[in-house]
């Protein structure tokens, strides 16, 4: 489904609300500059009510290469697309929208990024035996698909909406019943798929004292500095995966879909310096 790079003056973007904090324009802009591609990548604040009109306008724009989708639009993106990839269907959520053969396609590059990063944790010696997943939205569903791909079912969802969490537990064949969001963290691994820990939102699950030393914390909150949860994990001596780790991995797959060429990952050290500055 990768397009030929026939229109270097095209553009892609990231949409959602809030959006000012998004680092995606820095990542894609860096890669475009490194490859000498005269395309652009921008951000657009967009809520759920405005998504249908936005898609109607982009469908007819020949310069539009697609969009990354953030909260609160990931579930709507699947519903409004003409078709969806297997991973977007499995997650019930999409973080990519694009035109293919005059049809609007929803895709999910979050799933692959999460699976890749969890696999690296396992290879590095972190225990994946038991995992707590915070949240039950689009990001959590992507994590559940990735966990299923890796054959991991000793997963407990902790969320405010226990009814939805129970439905997800049954849908994904989890072996552990869900619990309230603020229940103690007692597991080998913790995945935060909520906005908690973003600027202005308290971290409700930063007590990691009951986690084993060989465990890990995977915080999907994107921040140029350590989130409170990541800071607590480092203090505990746990392995960590940050929101930026995930953002860069999913962005690399999105970049190929948008611009038809591999991201220059050999320049990662320079990119990380930009993201942390």
> Has residue 160 been placed in a domain?
yes
> Has residue 15 been placed in a domain?
yes
Q: What is the pLDDT of residues 76-116, one digit of tens each?
A: 999 999 999 999 999 999 999 999 999 999 999 999 999 99
The pLDDT profile of the chain, 277 residues, written as one tens digit per residue, is 444 444 457 999 999 999 998 999 999 999 999 999 999 999 999 999 999 999 999 999 999 999 999 989 999 999 999 999 999 999 999 999 999 999 999 999 999 999 999 999 999 999 999 999 999 988 899 999 999 999 999 999 999 999 999 999 999 999 999 999 999 999 999 999 998 877 667 777 889 999 988 999 999 998 888 999 999 999 999 999 999 999 999 999 999 999 999 999 999 999 999 998 7
> Has residue 2 been placed in a domain?
no
Residue 200 has a pLDDT of 64
Q: Is 176 helix (H, G, I), strand (E, B) or coil?
A: coil
Contacts of 156 (CB under 8 A, 6+ apart): 130, 131, 132, 133, 174, 176, 177, 178, 179, 187
Nearest to 216 by CA among 136, 109, 145, 117: 117
Q: 191 and 130, same structural domain?
A: yes
Residue 8 has a pLDDT of 59
Helix segments in the chain, DSSP class H: 24-35, 51-59, 74-80, 86-91, 110-123, 138-149, 162-171, 228-236, 243-259, 268-276
> Has residue 1 been placed in a domain?
no
**Structure tokens given for 259:** 């611009």
Q: 157 and 100, same structural domain?
A: no
> Has residue 138 been placed in a domain?
yes
**Structure tokens given for 15:** 């949409």
**What's the total number of domains in the chain?**
2
Q: 229 and 133, same structural domain?
A: yes
Q: Active-site residues: which are they?
A: 74
Cis peptide before 72 (omega within 30 of 0): yes
Query: At 196, which CATH number?
Result: 3.40.50.720
Distances (CA, A) of 125 to 28, 129, 209, 210, 238: 32, 11, 20, 19, 11
What range does the domain containing 122 cover? 111-241
End-to-end CA distance of the chain: 35
In this structure, what are the phi and psi dihedrals at residue 80, rounded to the nearest 5 degrees? -95, -10
Cis peptide before 18 (omega within 30 of 0): yes
Residue 6 has a pLDDT of 46
Q: 118 and 102, same structural domain?
A: no
Q: 89 and 122, same structural domain?
A: no
- 117/48 Cα distance (integer angstroms): 30
Q: 194 and 76, same structural domain?
A: no
> Has residue 4 been placed in a domain?
no
Asked if residue 12 lies in contact with residue 257, where contact means CB atoms within 8 angstroms, the answer is no
- 32/43 Cα distance (integer angstroms): 15
Residue 203 has a pLDDT of 79
């Amino acid at each position: 489904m990768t397009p030929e790079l026939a229109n270097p003056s095209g553009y892609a973007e990231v949409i959602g609300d809030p959006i000012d904090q998004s680092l995606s324009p820095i990542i894609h802009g860096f890669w475009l500059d490194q490859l000498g591609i005269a395309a652009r990548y921008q951000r657009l604040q967009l809520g759920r009510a405005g998504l249908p009109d936005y898609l109607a306008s982009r469908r007819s724009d020949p310069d539009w290469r697609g969009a990354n989708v953030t909260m609160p639009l990931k579930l709507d993106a699947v519903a409004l697309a003409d078709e969806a990839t297997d991973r977007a269907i499995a997650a019930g959520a999409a973080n990519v929208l694009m035109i293919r053969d005059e049809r609007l396609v929803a895709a999910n590059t979050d799933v692959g990024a999460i699976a890749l990063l969890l696999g690296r944790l396992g290879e590095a010696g972190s225990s994946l035996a038991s995992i707590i997943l915070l949240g039950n939205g689009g990001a959590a569903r992507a994590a559940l698909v990735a966990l299923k791909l890796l054959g991991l079912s000793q997963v407990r969802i902790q969320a405010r909406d226990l009814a939805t969490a129970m439905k997800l537990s049954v849908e994904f064949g989890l072996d552990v019943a869900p619990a309230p969001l603020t229940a103690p963290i007692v597991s080998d691994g913790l995945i935060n798929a909520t906005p908690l820990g973003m600027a202005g939102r308290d971290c409700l699950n930063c007590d990691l004292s009951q986690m084993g030393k060989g465990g890990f914390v995977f915080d999907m909150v994107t921040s140029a500095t350590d989130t409170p949860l990541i800071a607590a994990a480092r203090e505990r001596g746990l392995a960590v995966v940050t929101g930026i780790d995930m953002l860069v991995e999913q962005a690399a797959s999105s970049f190929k879909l948008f611009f038809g060429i591999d991201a220059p990952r050999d320049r990662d050290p320079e990119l990380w310096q930009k993201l942390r500055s």
